[in-house]
Chain A
Amino acid sequence: MAKSLFDKIWDAHVVKAIPGGLEVFYIDRHLIHEVTSPQAFDELQERGLPLSRPGQILATADHNVPTRNQHLPIEDPLSRSQVDKLTENCEKFGVELFGLGHQYQGIVHVIGPELGVTQPGMTIVCGDSHTSTHGAFGAIAFGIGTSQVTQVMASQCLLISRPKRMRITVDGALQPGVTAKDIILHIIARLGTGGATGYFVEYAGSAIRGLSMEGRMTVCNMSIEMGARGGLIAPDATTFEYLQGRPYAPQGERWEQAVDYWQTLYSEEGAEFESELSFDAAAITPMITYGTNPGMGIALNGNIPVLGTDGEAASFDKSLAYMGFAPGESLLGKEINYVFIGSCTNSRIEDLRAVAAYVKGKHKAQHVEAIIVPGSKLVEKQAIAEGIDQVLAEAGFELREPGCSACLAMNDDKIPAGAYCVSTSNRNFEGRQGPGARTLLASPLVAAITAVEGRIVDITQYLN
């Protein structure tokens, strides 16, 4: 029977099926960070269990770290203690750690791919819902809770049931100014924030194949925002070219063998999907969100819908009241206070290049605070090598040090209550960027143009 990409990888990782539908599912790579791992390490020790496969775990500090003065001790005592605990646990259990100050430190979903740790055909988990990012390489990657982190530490396996399969095909050519971020915001706006719950999504079609690895990561990253466990894209020449020569990628003869295997990873003609959707790439416009979940998105020059269905009306009204917007209105002309460019969705070198290309020779609006946070030390280094840091400084943007930063307001970087922030991150939930903060999700290009104009504009007028 014709097999899907998802089934090929999933089947290859089933250690054992148990009656009732659950499977003992093998995990190739386990990524950990300071926030969701301490309780798991403690649990392991309380039960007197060894760490099953320390060599298959990689750790970094990202959620809690400051993005200024990383060479100094972390000021916040709770954050410092959590980061210290990670260091202590990694030393005790023999786990490789890219902590603060390390040349490879960065956001866990940025460093895995850029180091070549993430490879096609793998199963990858992390105590973070945006683990779906790694699916861009043709891997089954998904976020897990801390109890499951403990399970993988103890056994290198999870006890889980197989999700349903969905394929989303995006065919055609993108309009100027439309990026990977707009594709995924468009899809989520159509499906809603729970529309893919229970599914694992394969993204296919010419518009997806035409994306760079960075763009594919942006798309897969936000799969969770429509409820999907994860998203993945069949590996191809773009994938192999990106991976070749990266520090943890296979070398020499092993590289050749790996590519031979990776080339078998695609959905065969006639493979079954429980749900299939298609989108016309040419119909996608630059997007922005207006509400408090990522499904509440509209075309940048469109209007906020007038009402949801009856059952949804109360939640919809609550959301608009929080944002300070009215049903049916346009966002064009709305003044913006903050622009945040960063997060595991859009903090890679391609994102920084897109911003720099637009803002070169321009300056941010006086009233806007524009923060740009590279996803990793390697991205930061590359940006400096290309002179992007200079371009940004001249445009009045502040280039920070790597971390999750204002995506989740758990570190020092927060947006004040009531302020509007155009953000390249993945979540516009109430308070996500700080209590009372109002988040509008958009692409790095939209964010850059907004920073310069100081208000929401129809970006198609600003492209040359």
Chain B
Amino acid sequence: MEKFQTLRSGVVPLPIENVDTDQIIPARFLKATTREGFGQNLFADWRYQPDGQPKADFVLNNPRYQGQILLAGKNFGCGSSREHAAWALYDAGFKVVISSYFADIFRGNALNTGLLPLQVSDEVLQGLFRQIELEPETQLVVDLPSQTLSVPVWDATIGFELDAYKKECLINGYDDIDYLVSQRDAIKTYEQLRKWVF
């Protein structure tokens, strides 16, 4: 996993609520057996016509909006557990998704992919949507060590929450596997002591 420290970037706004992982990456694109290349099919049915031509009204096809931060409506990533959704966003160049809340499985998958799910209040989210609509070139600064989101044009800095362990993992590019494997002895002891196996 790549390390994440600080990001200054423009924003791609997607003001839709309950964006499900079938929209992020439709099931018919899940037939690959590797992790790479899902970015080209990110939001495929919103982004392309059936003949493969880009749909002009979809935000990813609008050159006004550029950046590595996706700004999305509440309950982003609901539905299927497919980690391919996080891979597709990451593969397409996104490093941060900002929303007012995330579906549980997506949040975990994003963190395991190196994609930061950054949760803000509904009020901040709506404010950001308005700001980006007014000034599409607005830049945001995400600083993970201090857990802050800065909006330079507002002269404002907003804190966000993140599990301390997960934060360390993102900053250092670690994942959970090394830690879990290091716990082998404790796991073996647990297996010997448990009684409810029939």
Identify the A interface with B (CB < 8 A).
Answer: 12, 15-16, 18, 20-22, 24, 26, 28, 35-36, 38-39, 42-43, 47, 49, 63-64, 76, 78-79, 81-82, 85, 119, 121, 127-129, 143-148, 150-151, 154-161, 163, 193-194, 197-198, 224, 227, 229, 250, 254-255, 257-258, 261, 293, 295, 311-312, 314-315, 318, 408-410, 417, 427, 429-432, 435-436
Contacts and interface: CB of A to CB of B under 8 A. Distances in A.
B41 interface: no
B15 to A, nearest CB: 7
Give the size category of B's interface with A. Answer: 35 or more
Contact of B81 (A16, A36, A197): A36
Contacts of A26: 187, 190-191, 194
Given A81-B33, A198-B104, A129 B28 contact: no
Contact of A129 (B50, B79, B112, B126): B79
Contacts of A144: 81, 105, 108
B134 interface: no
A429 B113 CA distance: 24
Nearest to A86: B33
B2 to A, nearest CB: 14
Interface string B78-115: 11111110100000000000000101110011001100
B34 interface: yes
B177 A314 contact: no
Contacts of A36: 81-83
A409 B30 CA distance: 11
Interface of B: 15-18, 20, 22-23, 26-28, 30-35, 45, 50, 73-75, 78-84, 86, 101, 103-105, 108-109, 112-113, 122, 126, 163-165, 175-177, 179-181, 183-184, 186-187, 190-191, 194, 196-198
Contacts of A148: 108, 112, 176
A161 B45 CA distance: 34
B83 A143 contact: no
A9 to B, nearest CB: 9
24 contacts: A15-B183, A24-B180, A24-B186, A26-B191, A82-B33, A129-B79, A145-B108, A145-B112, A146-B109, A150-B177, A155-B177, A155-B181, A157-B180, A159-B180, A194-B103, A197-B104, A224-B105, A293-B78, A311-B17, A312-B17, A408-B27, A430-B23, A431-B22, A435-B50
Given A39-B33, A145-B112, A315-B17, A128 B81 contact: yes
Contacts, number: 192
B26 A151 contact: no
B75 A227 contact: yes
Nearest to B106: A145
A12 B191 CA distance: 11
A229 B103 CA distance: 9
Nearest to B113: A147
A410 to B, nearest CB: 4
